[in-house]
Amino acid sequence: MIRCIAIDDEPLALRQIAAYIEKTPFLELAGLCESAMKAMEVLSSTHVDLMYVDINMPDLSGMDFVKTLENPPMVVFITAYSEYALEGFSVNAIDYLLKPIGYIDFLKSANKARKSFKTVIQETKTKDSGRDYLFVKSGYKIVRISINNIVFIEGKREYVSIHFSTGKTLMPLISLRVLEEQLPSDRFMRVHRSYIVNLSKIVTIDHSRIVFEGKADIPVSDQYKDNFLKYITSHSLG
């Protein structure tokens, strides 16, 4: 999912973009902002992948707002004036939408963002595939954990339970989706809505259940079964 915020000083326009985001399966609404100042607050407290930014806002324009950000998320500019398009692309905007916005144009733009997002995620995973640790927040501490020692991860409502080969368990406040994006995809796989497994720790697969050393086992759901079996087949003899 691509986490989005919409920034527009016009309430009707803001609600329209929010409705379009919620209608699009691969987008997730993370916040609505009536000004650039409010957007700064949201960006400081939550993870955002994509911003829909109205250019023509009082106090601080959308264009100037984006220029102030050191590492901005992906940006789609929105405005009623077509002459801003060239300047929008000069700050590496994904796209430019002209008001009034129809859903077809919005979806085309969202697909551009999804393509760019997939490219960035893949490049990050490739770059980090050799990394053997992560930092996670647990209570008031930030803990360095060894990726190689993870057996499997179970997603709860507001946190995850990370099970290690040492027998220890860590329960940081982080979503399973966010953690999945940080783990190297050549070593870890989502096999259930609530589980990610370390592929190198699998001992046995018995009737769609993965068994680990110590007899801990977890299910493989139908949603993820085909991808999992494809991996097993590609690493099997005979």
- Residue type at position 61: S
Given 77, 107, 127, the domain boundary residue is 127
Q: Comparing C-alpha atoms, which of 116, 96, 114 is closest to residue 105?
A: 96
Highest mean pLDDT among 83-87, 109-113, 221-225: 109-113
pLDDT in tens, 34-63: 999 999 999 988 889 999 999 988 888 898
Look-up: residue for tokens 């859903």?
103
Domain count, the chain: 2
When the pLDDT of each residue in the chain is averaged and rounded to a whole number, the result is 86
User: CATH number for the domain including 198?
Assistant: 2.40.50.1020
pLDDT at 20 over 80: yes
- Residue 220 is part of which domain span? 133-234
Residue 6 and residue 116 in one domain = yes
Q: In the structure, what pLDDT confidence band is assigned to residue 123 with cuts at 50, 70 and 90?
A: low
**Same domain assignment for residues 101 and 144:** no
Residues 189 and 123 in one domain: no
Instruction: Indicate if 72 and 140 belong to the same structural domain.
Output: no
Please report which confidence band the pLDDT of residue 216 belongs to, taking 50, 70 and 90 as the band edges.
confident
> Is the domain of 137 the same as that of 122?
no
Q: Which of 104, 127, 150 is the last residue of a domain?
A: 127
Q: What would the mean pLDDT of 210-220 be, rounded to a whole number?
A: 85
B/e letters for 46-55, b = 16+ CB within 10 Å, e = fewer, are: eebbbbbbbb
Mean pLDDT of 152-178: 88
Q: Using 50, 70 and 90 to split pLDDT, how confident is the model at 131?
A: low
pLDDT average, residue stretch 130-151 = 83
Are residue 103 and residue 139 in the same domain, yes or no?
A: no
Distance of CA 79 to the CA centre of its chain: 27
In this prediction, residue 129 carries a pLDDT of 55
* Contacts within 8 Å (CB) and 24+ apart, 161-169: 162/136, 163/216, 165/201, 165/213, 167/214
Q: Is the pLDDT of residue 137 over 50?
A: yes
Same domain, 86 and 152: no
Can you give the CATH number for the domain in which 78 is found?
Answer: 3.40.50.2300
Q: Is the pLDDT of residue 163 over 90?
A: yes
Per-residue confidence band for 88, with pLDDT thresholds at 50, 70 and 90: very low
> Do residues 13 and 91 both lie within one domain?
yes
Alpha carbons 235 and 107: distance in angstroms, whole number? 38
Residues 27 and 93 in one domain: yes
pLDDT of residue 175: 84
